[in-house]
Amino acid sequence: MRTLLLKASNSAFLARQARRRRFVRATVRRFLPGEALEDVVAASEALRARDIPVCWTRLGEYVSTPGEVDEVVAAYRAAIHAAAGAGLDLQLSVKPTQLGLGFDPDLCRRATVALVRDAGACGMPVWLDMEAHPTVEATLELAEAARRALPDSAPGAGVCLQAYLHRTPEDLERMLEADVRVRLVKGAYREPAEVALQDRREVDEAFRALAGRLMEASARGTVDGSGGLRHVLGSHDVELLSTLPGLLPGGGEEAASPAAPVEIQMLYGIRTGFWDELAAGPVPFRVLVSWGEHWYPWFMRRLAERPSNLRFLVRGLLPGGG
């Protein structure tokens, strides 16, 4: 089922169909407060009232013209100003193929550095999402270029690394060496066995080992550069996170460190029952909230992570469903 859903995530035909169906849009709302910037602002203000800061991402990927890149950059600039106006504690997250990586890597580098600088001027760091494996090397180079373009005091930039890729242990050392912050996740794409682990238990083990390495590097005080931006563990696997020392409430003597060196992040709408506890816990906690019209491939990846989410879609099809 996971493979089927990830295959379907690449279908332009299904994307058009999904956007037209009310019951699909109703299900998407579980993971997305709305398509408009005002929706993400309102959701973020509600989270702030619960002491939960946010990271914003505008959905969309694999754009193919410079005009679309300009549009994406303009949308992020509008978001930066809206967040600054609302006084939100904000990070941004952006997909490199949304900034042109797929058709013009130079344009993408210029757009990324410009965005990182603009966000930095308002005190907001920028994360580069990690997409399918052919983009990994170019994304790491982008992250290094963004890091070099900024002074140590700037809020800076970081990059997502996927635990399922065989290459990630080396990439992690390379990013630590370059003083680039890392957001570690398990990985959301359908990847072949040549490049990625296929067994979920093996992916969990890889995540645990890499998270341990990241925490060890953080504990050596590397939160000074990049404007104090912390490394991130992006996961809803509370059971796995609870096996790492000092991350969750009641997690042992390391728990109360005020200079907690890593942050936990989760996606909007997922494992919400843990959020208040995490927000009051020993390490900072943040929620990544998305907005925008181009939600179809991203939504399909959320379904693939937990195929039982399909039941919400099925419920929407029934009489009286959303």
Give me the residues that bind ligand FDA (CB under 6 A), please.
129-130, 160, 162, 185-189, 234-237, 265-267, 270-271, 288, 302, 305-306, 309
Alpha carbon dihedral 299, 305, 308, 314, in 10-degree steps, equals 20
Q: Which is nearer to ligand FDA, 22 or 271 (CB)?
A: 271
Please name the amino acid found at residue 14. Answer: L
Least separation, in Å, of the C-beta of 231 and ligand FDA?
A: 12
Least separation, in Å, of the C-beta of 181 and ligand FDA?
A: 13
Query: What tokens appear for 24 in the block?
Result: 């699909």
The answer to whether the beta carbons of residues 286 and 53 sit under 8 Å apart is: yes
Least separation, in Å, of the C-beta of 215 and ligand FDA?
A: 16
In angstroms, rounded to a whole number, what is the distance separating the alpha carbons of residues 54 and 306? 23
Q: Which is nearer to ligand FDA, 94 or 256 (CB)?
A: 94
Q: Which is nearer to ligand FDA, 130 or 206 (CB)?
A: 130
Q: Which is nearer to ligand FDA, 9 or 235 (CB)?
A: 235
**What's the angle, vertex CA 24, arms to CA 30 and CA 71, rounded to 5?**
80
In angstroms, rounded to a whole number, what is the distance separating the alpha carbons of residues 188 and 130? 9
Least separation, in Å, of the C-beta of 127 and ligand FDA?
A: 8
CA separation (Å) from 233 to 25, 190, 218? 29, 21, 12
Least separation, in Å, of the C-beta of 240 and ligand FDA?
A: 7
Which ranges of 178-321 would DSSP assign to H, the alpha helix?
200-219, 238-241, 275-279, 296-305, 310-317
Q: Which is nearer to ligand FDA, 56 or 261 (CB)?
A: 56
Of how many residues is the chain composed?
Answer: 322
The answer to whether the beta carbons of residues 222 and 254 sit under 8 Å apart is: no
Least separation, in Å, of the C-beta of 271 and ligand FDA?
A: 5
Least separation, in Å, of the C-beta of 55 and ligand FDA?
A: 7
Which ranges of 9-65 would DSSP assign to H, the alpha helix?
12-20, 22-28, 37-48
Instruction: Give the number of other CB atoms < 10 A from CB of residue 152.
Output: 12
Q: Which is nearer to ligand FDA, 109 or 186 (CB)?
A: 186
The answer to whether the beta carbons of residues 136 and 171 sit under 8 Å apart is: yes
Q: Pick from 142, 233, 229: which is nearest to 186 by CA?
A: 233
Q: Which is nearer to ligand FDA, 66 or 307 (CB)?
A: 307
Least separation, in Å, of the C-beta of 316 and ligand FDA?
A: 16
Query: Could you give the 3-state DSSP secondary structure of residue 54?
Result: strand
Least separation, in Å, of the C-beta of 187 and ligand FDA?
A: 5
Q: Which is nearer to ligand FDA, 80 or 160 (CB)?
A: 160
Q: Which is nearer to ligand FDA, 40 or 185 (CB)?
A: 185
The answer to whether the beta carbons of residues 158 and 226 sit under 8 Å apart is: yes
Query: Could you give the 3-state DSSP secondary structure of residue 75?
Result: helix
Please name the amino acid found at residue 312. Answer: F
